[in-house]
Structure 1
Amino acid sequence: MKKIIILAISTFFLSSCAEEFLTRDHPTATTDLNFWNTEGEINTALNILYDQVPTGGFRYQNNTRITFEGMTDNAVWYANFFGEVNTIALGNSNSQMRATEWAAIQPVWQENYTAIRRANRFLEHAGKALIEPALKKRYFAEARALRAWFHLDLMLYYGEIPIVTTVVLPTETDLVKNTKQEVVDFVLAELDAASADLPNLYAVNDIKRITRGACYTMKTVALLNNLQYAEAAKAAKQVIDMNLYKLHPSYAALFNYEGQVNEERIFIRQSGNDDTFYRSAPGYIGGNACLNPTGSLVNTYETKQGKTLAELSPDSAAIYKASPNYRSNRDPRMELTIAYPGSTFYGDLNPWDDSPNNPNRLAANYSSKTGYWLRKYVDLADRGRGRGSLDYMVYRYGDLLLMYVEALVESGQWNNPDVIKYINMIRNRAKMPNVDIKVYNNEAKMRELYQRERRVELAFEGSRLFDIRRWKIAEKVMNGVVEGAIDPRTKKPVNVETRTFKAKDYLWPIPAREMEGNPNMKQNPGF
């Protein structure tokens, strides 16, 4: 036992020292000469890079993608931390938003460039390590692919960014932005080079590591968000043609411990949803209920017959708006994503009882502001644990298939048989009927369909912000009053907040301290 404890302490110490070393030169008199020598040191450096892949949850000082759904029409954010999420959602973003202890937005720039610097340190120095050549080649490919991905992540949030491929010292403050096309071209070239030296699969204990399929998926993301649709379709087809990934049979199990290891996962952050129960569940069972689904999202789910609420008679639509899962006749993904008044996942939720003894009353502390609660990625096994160990899927096969469908439709191939084929696969997995091809029989209707499918299939997985930006619909969906559930006492939806969206909000502002410290840095338009 004593040896195990000593080993654990030594591993933690090595990791902590290495993290400082990769960020700041010689923080503890460590030098490049005496570090990059063993496989253990190389693995430690790589693990630190993997630890900077985004979480899904709500961690401080991290790229927390589920939290960022509060900047979309899927949710509202109410908590005493990550205040910039609500600031941006309301249309009040500005270049003076600064990183603080509780910040969620501004650290993304700093953390991604910290990760890029660490990757560059790795690529410059790890070659001298005494490791079997084939393994060393794979390690280098992992670092190279991760460096490309961190650039891609920055581009999705900020647009034009500097490409950094050397170790930039803290004293170097002359970075210049590259164009978005230059960033995309760099990312694609790096991922192509890395994928040649990466495996298709790893053992379960190495499941977080980047694979060839993950590289192809990242290429798809880069191309799709640069509106290079034909190329994006080819990249996505590379993933499909690997015949390696499958839709997990159970949509419900996909987001809890039961289905934690599955063939749908393409790229993950291990334990990336470790605090989702704590931040999502109602207060009366130990949660904070920070992120609350909107009525707009709830009303997007079809009936089990494949009808949208807009296709129903006004009286029928009103019934489903007032009672979202009336007669259990809605797309099952709704109930597996959102807890609503009358649902039983969290127990009896009644936001309409204003009694002080009701902890779930509307807008009470640690209750919901909309009358809806987040359920996806919440496993009741985490109740009372403080933190769990659920992984976060950065990319999964269902997402990739929908990206492929979008790329086909937007490249003029809306009637390609693969469009209906893969949408039906996703719908059928959720126990939804096939697409009615008599209704979805032209490009505009197919666009409406894939955009709705992406919203309901991927809600609260971190893709919605990028989707509404790419589709240029944010000025439509992020302007006006945000409505919640129908209050049975007034027969009207709860009015939660009023949002404003301006053209500048399609990008985040470059952090103020970056602007102040770098005379060559140009601020994004409108800030």
Structure 2
Amino acid sequence: MKRVNYILMALAFAFSGCFSDLDPISKSDLSPDQFFKTEKDVKAAVSGVYAHLENLHHAYGGSNLNPCYATTDEFTCSWGDSRWRIWRDLTWTPTTGDVTKFYNLNKITEATNMIFRAEAVDMDPDLKDRYIAEMRMVRAILAWYQYRFYGPVPVILEQGHGSDYRPERPTKEWMVDFLVSEAEACAAILPKTYDAGDFGRMTKGIAYMLELKVYMNDHQWQKAAEVSKKIMDLGVYNLQDTYASVFHIDNEMNDEIVWAISRTPSRGNHWLAHVYPYDYVSLAGNSVQRWGGFKVPWDIYDRCFTEAQDGRLEVLWSEYPINADGTMKSMRSDIGALPVKYSEDPAGAGTLHGNDWIIWRYTDVLLSRAEALNQLSGPTQEATDLINTVRSRAGVSQISKDDFTKESLNDYILDERFRELYLEGHRRDDLIRHGKFIEKAKERGVDYASEKHLLFPIPQWQLDQDPDFPQNPGY
């Protein structure tokens, strides 16, 4: 289906050149022929900036999502290679490529350069403002990803630095303020929605969602409660009737999705290939690759999914078909359940399925608001009503505020977030926010887990370039 036209990065580079986060192009050095000249130039630059986000979200090793679930208790993998053991066992170092590869500030600087160049173009002012707001939002999301993994990092927001420029590491307060102020400024410009052909572009809801993520991470509960209400009051988002339908190929662009990355069979979603066992047989007769790697461990599955009628289990399988006649094979002798989640794409083949990659959903808004309200006031009717809205869609029992303390409801929300959002890239942040990341690592045998593992190390190559740049504690 038609979405944002993510032009190959080479097209963006044709306009922008190769940028270094430590050596941005100086305004005084730009000649007239380096500026964008037309609306078409700006549109191509926007597509190039969006492509950075597309390239970060996939299932292969090296995805931005890998450290978000593979370092936690919600994930295990049948493959014994070192790539997955490093995440599980928290054994990364400042020279571990799969960890340091996400430290990529030049993408942020490139977005800054694209914004600067777009500002000089004579074109429809409203459209230009929107394009620039889109690029600023992509830049802010890229900076948010860096912050989640490495802590505060330099964000180049201006031109005119020479080749010897070495930015200082900002404070946490500066980083939080930057992310929130950028999101607020962009929310004032961006539309609530687009036509279907532009589904996936930055919206007001995505901007507010970034704010919500930042406030939750920073334990600013009152502000988190306020911005979650802003998202709800947009009147754009609603829960789907069933959990499985959220991820079904026939229900793309549904109004539970706050943000998704466009995929087509030629630019595929490879999730199912990572999940399906080697002897799986598609009852629909679809062509699928079967590598049999990703699992949800039985201990968290059995602890959290205690109601057999839970609709979320429709796409978290404890058994699977091995014959076209429907013969089923149990997963109980294996290391975990199958997080199928996305439906098969009849137009896909092998590893390539066209399901859009869902990043942020409305259920996350509801559960985040419930958590923020509980942190502010303990169990309230509104907080439990929000949780029950999510549970009602899943077809499971309702909860009462009278059965909880503030602490026990907080723990319950963490479990509900797993039940609802498993393997969508939230668990690492959730465990860190709840103060349980180290505890859960030790429960699975990583006895040396410590505070240092809450952040990844600054890459050694960064320190080699700038010996005065501070390394994260413990590395």
Q: Following superposition of structure 1 onto structure 2, how do residues 96-115 of structure 1 map, counting pairs within 5 Å?
A: 96-97=95-96, 99=97, 103=98, 105-110=99-104, 113-115=105-107
> Which residue of the other structure, out of 416, 430, 433, is the alignment partner of 2:380?
416
The aligned amino acid for 1:400 is V
- Residue 523 of structure 1 pairs with residue 461 of structure 2: no
The aligned amino acid for 1:77 is C
**1: distance between equivalents of 2:317 and 2:447?**
24
**C-alpha distance after superposition, 1:414-473 (max 9, x if no partner):** 233320121111111111122144423x21221122111111100010000111111110
By how many angstroms is 1:57 displaced?
2.5
TM-score between the two structures when normalised by the length of structure 1: 0.78
TM-score between the two structures when normalised by the length of structure 2: 0.86
Q: RMSD of aligned C-alpha atoms? A: 2.9
CA contact 1:62–1:107 (8 Å) conserved in 2: no
Question: Residues 56 and 334 (structure 1 numbering): CA distance in 2 closer, same or farther, change over 3 Å?
Answer: farther
The corresponding residue for 1:340 is 318
Question: Residues 167 and 299 (structure 1 numbering): CA distance in 2 closer, same or farther, change over 3 Å?
Answer: farther
The corresponding residue for 1:49 is 49
Which ranges in structure 1 are unaligned for 5 or more consecutive residues? 1-7, 305-328, 353-361, 363-367, 483-497
Question: Residues 149 and 351 (structure 1 numbering): CA distance in 2 closer, same or farther, change over 3 Å?
Answer: closer
CA contact 2:68–2:429 (8 Å) conserved in 1: no
**C-alpha distance after superposition, 1:229-279 (max 9, x if no partner):** 111111111111112211111210111202211011112211286111222
Question: Residues 40 and 431 (structure 1 numbering): CA distance in 2 closer, same or farther, change over 3 Å?
Answer: same
> Which residue of the other structure, out of 177, 186, 191, is the alignment partner of 1:194?
186
The corresponding residue for 2:283 is none
Q: Following superposition of structure 1 onto structure 2, how do residues 26-425 of structure 1 map, counting pairs within 5 Å?
A: 33-53=33-53, 55-59=56-60, 61-63=62-64, 65=65, 68-79=68-79, 83-97=82-96, 99=97, 103=98, 105-110=99-104, 113-166=105-158, 171-172=163-164, 174-271=166-263, 274-285=269-280, 286-304=289-307, 329-336=308-315, 338-341=316-319, 348-350=328-330, 370-379=335-344, 381=346, 384-411=349-376, 413-425=377-389
CA contact 1:478–1:499 (8 Å) conserved in 2: yes
CA contact 1:96–1:511 (8 Å) conserved in 2: yes
Q: Secondary structure at the match of 2:70?
A: helix
CA contact 2:73–2:300 (8 Å) conserved in 1: yes
CA contact 1:175–1:518 (8 Å) conserved in 2: no
**2: distance between equivalents of 1:303 and 1:382?**
36
The aligned amino acid for 1:57 is H
CA contact 1:149–1:218 (8 Å) conserved in 2: yes
The aligned amino acid for 1:53 is L
Question: Residues 52 and 270 (structure 1 numbering): CA distance in 2 closer, same or farther, change over 3 Å?
Answer: same
- Residue 475 of structure 1 pairs with residue 438 of structure 2: yes
The corresponding residue for 1:509 is 457
- Residue 445 of structure 1 pairs with residue 408 of structure 2: yes
Q: Secondary structure at the match of 2:102?
A: helix
Question: Residues 199 and 13 (structure 1 numbering): CA distance in 2 closer, same or farther, change over 3 Å?
Answer: closer
Q: Secondary structure at the match of 2:200?
A: coil
Aligned residues: 449
Which ranges in structure 2 are unaligned for 5 or more consecutive residues? 281-288
**1: distance between equivalents of 2:298 and 2:8?**
45
Question: Residues 391 and 13 (structure 1 numbering): CA distance in 2 closer, same or farther, change over 3 Å?
Answer: closer
**1: distance between equivalents of 2:13 and 2:318?**
47
Question: Residues 16 and 237 (structure 1 numbering): CA distance in 2 closer, same or farther, change over 3 Å?
Answer: closer
**2: distance between equivalents of 1:340 and 1:18?**
49
CA contact 2:243–2:311 (8 Å) conserved in 1: no
Identity of aligned residues (%): 21
**C-alpha distance after superposition, 1:313-341 (max 9, x if no partner):** xxxxxxxxxxxxxxxx25221342x2224
Q: Secondary structure at the match of 2:207?
A: helix
By how many angstroms is 1:60 displaced?
5.7
Question: Residues 281 and 18 (structure 1 numbering): CA distance in 2 closer, same or farther, change over 3 Å?
Answer: farther
